A and B are shown apart, each in its own frame.
Chain A
Amino acid sequence: MLPAEETGENGMQNSVILIVLLLLTALGYHLGRRRALHSVGGTQAIRHLHSLPSYYGLYVVLWAVIPALLVMLLWGLVQDTVLNELIISTLPPEMQSLPPERLGLLINDIHNLAVGNITSEAPSPAIKAAADHLRSLQAVADLARAVVVLAIATAGALFAWRAISPTMRARNRVESILKGLMVASAMVAILTTIGIVLSVLFESLRFFQKVPVTDFLFGLEWSPQIAIRSDQVGASGAFGAIPLLAGTLLISFIALVVAVPIGLMSAIYLAEYASPRLRAWAKPILEVLAGIPTVVYGFFAALTVAPFIRNLGESVGLDVSSESALAAGLVMGIMIIPFVSSLSDDVINAVPQSLRDASYGLGATQSETIRQVILPAALPGIMGGVLLAASRAIGETMIVVMAAGLSANLTINPLEAVTTVTVQIVTLLVGDQEFDSAKTLAAFALGLLLFLITLSLNIVALRIVRRYREQYE
Chain B
Amino acid sequence: MSSGNSVSPSFEKVQASLARRYARERRFRAMGLGAILLGLSFVAILFITIIGNGYTAFWQTYIRLPVYLDPQVIDPQGTRDPEVIRQASFRKLVRQPLREMFREVKGRRDKRLLYKLLSDDAPHEVQQRVIDDPSLIGRKVELWLLADDEVDMLVKGHIPRETLLEGRKAKLVGWVDRLQAEGRIEKRFNVPFFTRGDSREPEQAGIAGAAAGSFYTLLVTLLLSFPIGVAAAIYLEEFAPKNRLTDLIEVNINNLAAVPSIVFGLLGLAVFINWFGLPRSAPLVGGLVLTLMTLPTIIIAGRAALKSVPPSIREAALGIGASHMQTVTHHVLPLALPGMLTGAIIGMAQALGETAPLLMIGMVAFIVDIPQGPLDPATVLPVQIYLWADSPERAFVERTSAAIMVLLAFLIAMNALAIVLRRRFERRW
Mark A residues whose CB is within 8 Å of B. Answer: 1-2, 4, 7-8, 10-11, 77, 80-81, 171, 175, 178-179, 181-183, 185-190, 192-193, 195-196, 199-200, 202-203, 261-266, 268-270, 272-274, 282, 285-286, 288-289, 291-300, 302-304, 334, 337, 341, 363, 365-368, 370-371, 388, 391-392, 394-398, 401-402, 422, 425-426, 429-430, 435, 443-444, 447, 450-451, 454-455, 458-459, 462
Contacts and interface: CB of A to CB of B under 8 A. Distances in A.
B189 interface: no
A4 B259 contact: no
B29 A269 contact: yes
A285 B40 contact: yes
B277 to A, nearest CB: 6
Nearest to A396: B260
B305 interface: no
Interface of B: 14, 21-22, 24-25, 28-29, 31-36, 38-40, 42-43, 46, 49-50, 53, 227-229, 231-232, 234-236, 239-240, 248-249, 252-256, 258-264, 266-267, 269-271, 274, 276-277, 279-282, 292, 295-296, 299, 323-325, 349, 352-356, 359-360, 364, 372-377, 382-383, 385-386, 389-390, 397, 400-401, 404, 407-408, 411, 415
Given A282-B40, A395-B262, 6 more contacts: A178-B325, A188-B232, A199-B270, A291-B411, A426-B356, A430-B359
A429 B360 contact: yes
Contacts of A371: 28
Contacts of B266: 196, 199-200, 425, 429, 443-444, 447
A249 to B, nearest CB: 15
Given A178-B325, A451-B259, A266 B389 contact: no
B386 A398 contact: yes
Contact of A395 (B263, B269, B349, B377): B263
B25 A429 contact: no
A288 B276 CA distance: 38
A188 B295 contact: yes
Given A185-B231, A265-B32, A395 B25 contact: no
Nearest to B419: A284
Contacts of B228: 185, 188
Given A11-B373, A196-B263, A179 B239 contact: yes
Contact of A425 (B40, B258, B262): B262
B252 A193 contact: yes
A288 B32 contact: no
A366 B385 CA distance: 47
Contacts of A368: 21, 24-25
Contacts of A444: 266, 270
A175 B325 contact: yes
B325 A179 contact: yes
Given A262-B35, A295-B386, A186 B249 contact: yes
Q: Which 8 A-B pairs have the closest CB atoms?
A: A395-B260, A269-B32, A293-B353, A199-B270, A265-B35, A185-B231, A182-B235, A367-B28
A426 to B, nearest CB: 6
Contacts of A8: 372-373
A79 to B, nearest CB: 10
Contacts of A262: 35, 38-39
A195 B281 CA distance: 20
Contacts of B295: 188-189, 192
A402 B389 contact: yes
6 contacts: A2-B282, A185-B235, A193-B252, A295-B355, A341-B39, A462-B254
A468 B239 CA distance: 28
A203 B255 contact: no
B325 A7 contact: no
B325 to A, nearest CB: 4
Contacts of B270: 199-200, 202-203, 444
B235 A183 contact: yes
Contacts of B33: 269, 273
Contact of B234 (A2, A182, A193, A435): A182
Given A285-B43, A304-B49, A395-B262, A295 B255 contact: no
Contacts of B31: 265
Contacts of A401: 356, 359, 386
Contact of B353 (A183, A294, A370, A397): A294
A175 B323 contact: yes
A286 B36 contact: yes
B34 A265 contact: yes
B235 A186 contact: yes
Contacts of B281: 1
A189 B21 contact: no
A303 B389 contact: yes
Contact of A7 (B53, B240, B263, B279): B279
Nearest to B414: A291
A346 to B, nearest CB: 14
A203 B24 CA distance: 57
Contacts of A337: 39, 42
Given A183-B235, A200-B266, A292 B356 contact: no
B249 A187 contact: yes
Contacts of B383: 295
B386 A397 contact: no
Nearest to B231: A185
A296 B356 contact: no
Contacts of B24: 365, 367-368
Contacts of A273: 29, 32-33
A282 B353 contact: no
Contacts of B34: 265
Contact of B267 (A195, A268, A391): A195
A429 B254 CA distance: 28
Contacts of B356: 294, 397-398, 401, 422, 426
Given A266-B32, A367-B25, A429 B261 contact: no
Nearest to A304: B49
B408 A292 contact: yes
A298 B49 contact: no
